[in-house]
Amino acid sequence: MKLGLKIGHVEAGLRSFDWMMPEEHNRRIINHVSHYLFAPTEIAKKNLLEENVLGEIFVTGNTVIDAVDMYFDKVREVEDRVLSELKFKEYILVTFHRAENVDNPQVLRDFVRILKKSPMPVVYPIHPRTRKRLQSLACGTKSRK
């Protein structure tokens, strides 16, 4: 701001409404210092208006939806292949990778303990962050961020 640069925020106005997430704080702060706010949806625009931001708001469309549309056929091919390789007719699909879920060894151990007790098979497409944390737990070492 002191340099006189104009700031734009892509995906402005998205909200989790979870103040435990650092991202929620960052989203709100950047929205109030941005000159241009590129909101993906009308709901995001409404959030910005309710928060009385000063920047100019543009509804731009949702990049996640655009990506899904762009890659839908390719994902469908992969999905068909993956599903044909599964040995289960019924299963639970799970994923977790956020810092608050995997960086605390006790929380991660609790997740693993719960998954081990599942009455159904668990399919878990593991995120690289979680894999690293699980490997460090298995080795008894502390992981670094």
Give the tokens for residue 94: 């799970």
CA 121, chain centre distance (Å):
24
Give the tokens for residue 34: 């941005």
State the Cα–Cα distance between residues 64 and 10, nearest whole angstrom. Answer: 12
Task: Indicate the pairing of strand 56-59 with strand 36-39.
Answer: parallel
DSSP state of 141: -
DSSP state of 16: -
Catalytic residue among 25, 32, 35, 97: 97
Residue 32 annotated among the catalytic residues of the structure: no
Q: Which amino acid is at 136?
A: S
Question: Which among 63, 62, 19, 28 is positioned nearest to 43, based on CA atoms?
Answer: 62
List residues with catalytic annotation: 97
